[in-house]
Amino acid sequence: MRSLPDGFILPDFGATAARPTSTAAPEAAGEAAGPAYSGPRKLSLICSKGNLDMAYPGLILGNAAAGEGIETHIFFTFWGLDIVNKKTNAKLKFTMLGNTAMHMADLGAIRPGLEHKSMPQVMGQLPGMTSIATKMMKKQMADLEIPDVPEFLDLLQAAGVHMYACKLSFDMMKMIEADLHPAVEGVISAADFIEISEGAQTIFI
């Protein structure tokens, strides 16, 4: 039993399932449990948001997985379709509103510590602030040599990442296939993606 710091109260998460005890040799116990999975890795990403700051996590994770040789599938649903819509993906926005984690590293040059301070939410309501915040984020990404969204999709396609559009969202937004970035392999249902994702590690963004 591990010791707890003074004053620390461990929450009660309910009874723990009892572990079976065995006197068998470790090798025999391992055989009874079955061999650990050692097949090829597989990753499924579900991108559901179309803000600029929510587009990059899925793209970056997909690129990292492909770089490791992992079979990667990305499903764009609801506002995440804006990421693969040719009419919108070069114009994704970043807003301060509702983002209490918004802070600016450059403010540290004015006074140390300011770079860790969250920007006041009221600033996001000022005219033009969404445009300013979007330009700032795009510049930061460009400084790190991270491509813009359309180019990133091209890179993922070249790396062998499989990308799909959600049929329900596609129909709801009255899109046509010509609106989709060429990297999108098809418009599929949620059930189709569940089948494709069998055995995969799934991450929802």
Higher pLDDT, 24 or 136: 136
57 band by pLDDT with thresholds 50, 70 and 90: very high
51 band by pLDDT with thresholds 50, 70 and 90: very high
Q: Which residues pair with 72 in a beta bridge?
A: 43
pLDDT at position 32 is: 54
pLDDT at position 11 is: 56
Please give the mean pLDDT across all residues of the chain.
83
Mean pLDDT throughout 47-53? 93
pLDDT at position 87 is: 95
pLDDT in tens, 105-163: 777 778 788 777 777 777 777 788 889 888 988 998 898 899 999 999 999 999 999 99
Contacts of residues 133-141 at CB distance under 8 Å and 24 or more positions apart, as own/partner, are 133/94, 133/95, 133/96, 133/102, 134/52, 134/92, 134/93, 134/94, 134/95, 136/94, 136/104, 137/52, 137/53, 137/94, 138/52, 141/56
pLDDT over 90, % of the chain? 54
pLDDT in tens, 157-188: 999 999 999 999 999 999 999 999 999 999 99
